[in-house]
Structure 1
Amino acid sequence: MGTWGITHWIILAVVVLVLFGGRGKISDLMGDVAKGIKSFKKGIADDEPAAAQQPVKTIDTQAGTTVNPAEQTKAG
Structure 2
Amino acid sequence: MILAHELGHAEDPELEQLAAALDGPLTGRQEAEIRLRIEENAWAYAVSLLREADSSFLHIIMEESLFSYRDQLDRFLIA
Higher Rg: 1
Q: TM-score, normalised by structure 2?
A: 0.31
Q: TM-score, normalised by structure 1?
A: 0.32
**Which of the pair is proportionally richer in strand?**
1
**Which of the pair is proportionally richer in helix?**
2
Higher relative contact order (CA 8 A, sep 6+): 2
